[in-house]
Amino acid sequence: MKTIKKREAGKKGRPLKNEKLKTCYRIDGIIKVNDAFVLKEMEKMGLFILASNDISLSPEVYISTPF
């Protein structure tokens, strides 16, 4: 983590002795992806349910029938 002090007014040059400075923080880091978690969540998103009131249709026919 890095601390940066800047002038409040945005002026250029050296700040005065009694001038109030704005403190900013910069955080450098690396983002890592948890592949196992991502795959698990993608599997959840891929589920869907087909429902019908017609019980005479087999699942294969129901899936292949365009609506």
What are the per-10-residue average pLDDT scores of the chain (67 residues)?
82 82 91 94 80 82 77
Q: Residue 38: its pLDDT value, please?
A: 93
For 28-62, b/e burial (b = at least 16 CB within 10 A) is eeeeeeeeeeeeeeeeeeeeeeeeeeeeeeeeeee
For residue 34, give the 3-state DSSP assignment.
coil
Q: How far apart are CA 64 and CA 52, in angstroms?
A: 14
Q: Residue 67: its pLDDT value, please?
A: 65
- CB–CB of 15/2 below 8 Å? no
Q: Residue 26: its pLDDT value, please?
A: 92
